Structure 1
Amino acid sequence: MPSAIRALKGQTVIINCLYSNKNGEQLRIKWGKKNSAQALCDYTYNKNDAKYTVWHCKEHANITVDLSTNSSSLTIHDLHLEDSSVYFCQLFIEIPPPALMAYGNGTRLTVEASPTVQLRAETLPYPHEGIQLICISLEFYPENIQVSWFQDGQLITNGTKNGRLCANTDGSFSIISFLNLSLFDWNEGRNYSCQVNHSTLSAPITEMISAPNEDVKDNKSLTWATVLRLMILVVATLIAMSAFILYFRLHTGKTPLDNHQARLFSSCGGALQQSRAFSLRSSGY
């Protein structure tokens, strides 16, 4: 038998066993796994009486026996993570007596699981106004995994955070990664992607997201409308200030700035006089 097999959750695996049976009239083949008292499959064959040829299997396993090649195979369907174990076949030659028994060294089956990746965007509540991208990697095994963020194909390191690794009831793991964006960056229309790499993958899984076109258009329209309103406000303010200055000069011969500077100088002079008076009193003059 092969010494080790690796497979993915949900797949089907076949484990083979070769045996020697030269003179046996009735033989029995059992398939089991380490630390389990019950056999997965049990096959009994009597070459002289077909009614003694019986077999049964439990769970999601099947057994095949090829008497011409003295071989047997155990097939396990729809693998689960808990199917990871050491599997072995046992051969019993029950007739003629004395009964003989032999068994193999075993095959170690390791079941792994590839991650399922989901990516979505959520609006952050006040006062943290912005967008949070959430990348969820679900039900993978083993636990080592790499999650990276990209903006238009460029790696992002600022604003990213990974949550803690969560253990699931079936032995797999899940993890959440976050990317926080300002509303301005989000509405720029850039493409953001979450890339997940795991030992079970032949290539990384990449999920991509960007602001809906309607949001980008609305944001650009809002930006131009805001700029236009500000320009109108600035022009109106300048016109009003010019008219006020002209009116003030025609009636007083000075500008408001001249009066404001005069008041400042007057205040400074008063303060200076008070300071001098205090100095004179302190010196006794």
Structure 2
Amino acid sequence: MSGCNTMKLLLMVSVCLLLEDFLNQKVTAFQDPHIVTALKGGTVTIDCLHGLNNTEGMAVTLQRNATLCYKVIGNYSTWKEQCNERVNMTWNNKTNTLSLIIKALILNDSGNYTCKLDRVIPPPTQSITENKTFLQVTARPNIGLVYVNSSNGSTQLVCTSEGFSPKHIEVSWFKDGELISNDAHEENLTSNDDGSFTLTSYCSVSGSGDYTCQVNHSTLQSPLNASVTVPAHEDNQIRILLHLQMQTHVLLNVVFFCSLHSRYAFKHHQNHIKDTA
């Protein structure tokens, strides 16, 4: 009897050890939120959990403000899945890694994501671990450059950088390759409905030449450049127009004077004829 009791005790201990190993399997998770950056319109893959040696009866939940994806897995296959149309989870058998995939990213996808792992079979549900990730969706600027004549008679260059995020952006102006002082231009930053920003930079033209607007942003591998050539006649356009207006004014005065002189001469000639007659 004592031998049987000893065998039963050893069996119970073995089962307990196996169960403890199952519950305490080494699952790698980032306890402190780590940052993942991705571009607007693209697809991002976030590693949720690593080292899943046993997935039998496990449930994975992806949450942000609400549940975005819920998947129950067993024997490394999906038993149940309910996910947002742009969200999916994938399992890599080689690395024992569960990853989150978000497609068609928008700027409003930025935020904190929590990937939770629970054991749901057998009940009751037991929490195993969770991984927190901060996703930052960024957007590259689109730039354009034009030159216009302002109402005060000066010529200005207008460089527009649209749809970028994050907010910080740098705009520099060059004339014939030489950097123009920041005092020579003004900037106006506005926010857009989709969470992006637009920066409009104004630069006063100081003579003809090749002008370049250079934009630098954290999403760019190298700065964006937009250039325009301001010809001499554009620089002198206002002065030429004023000169023509002055010439026209003088010409009108001459015509008016000649008209008065002609009328006076004609009237004087008529009076002379009457006196002679």
State TM-score, norm by structure 1: 0.63
Identity level (%): 36
Is the CA contact (8 Å cut-off) linking 1:160 and 1:177 kept in structure 2? no
Evaluate the alpha carbon distance shift between residue 42 and residue 132 of structure 1 in structure 2; reply closer, same or farther with a 3 A threshold. Answer: same
1:29 maps to 2:55: no
Q: 2:35 maps to what in 1?
A: 4
Point out the structure with max Rg over C-alpha. 1
Distance 2:169 2:182 in 1: 20
Alignment CA distance shift 1:132-1:45 (3 Å): same
Letter in 1 for 2:143: V
Q: Cα deviations across residues 184-235 of structure 1 (Å, max 9, x unaligned)?
A: x23xxx211101112222211110111479x68x98xx9xxx9xxxxxxxxx
Q: Deviations over 1:107-134 (max 9, x none)?
A: 1111222211111122334xx3342210
Q: What number of residue pairs does the alignment pair up?
A: 207
One-letter code aligned to 1:7 = A
Give the structure 2 partner of residue 85 of structure 1.
111
Q: Does 1:195 pair with 2:214?
A: yes
Q: Does 1:179 align with 2:207?
A: no
Q: Matches of 2:59 and 2:199 in 1, distance apart?
A: 47
CA RMSD of aligned residues (A): 3.0
Between the aligned partners of 1:23 and 1:159, the Cα distance in structure 2 is 65
Structure 1: how far apart are the matches of 2:54 and 2:201? 64
In the TM superposition, residue 31 of structure 1 has moved relative to its aligned partner by 1.3
In the alignment, is the contact (CA less than 8 A) between 2:116 and 2:131 conserved in 1? no
Q: From the superposition, tell whether residues 152 and 23 of structure 1 become closer, same or farther in structure 2 (CA, over 3 Å).
A: closer
Opposite residue 57 of structure 2, the aligned amino acid is Q
In structure 2, runs of 5+ residues without a counterpart are 1-28, 245-277
TM-score, normalised relative to structure 2 = 0.64
| Match 1:133 to one of 157, 169, 193 | 157
Distance 2:190 2:107 in 1: 16
For structure 1, which runs of at least 5 residues remain unmatched after alignment? 227-285
Is the Cα contact below 8 Å between 1:159 and 1:179 reproduced in 2? no
Q: Which amino acid aligns with 2:157?
A: L
Note if contact 2:49-2:131 (Cα within 8 Å) is conserved in structure 1: no
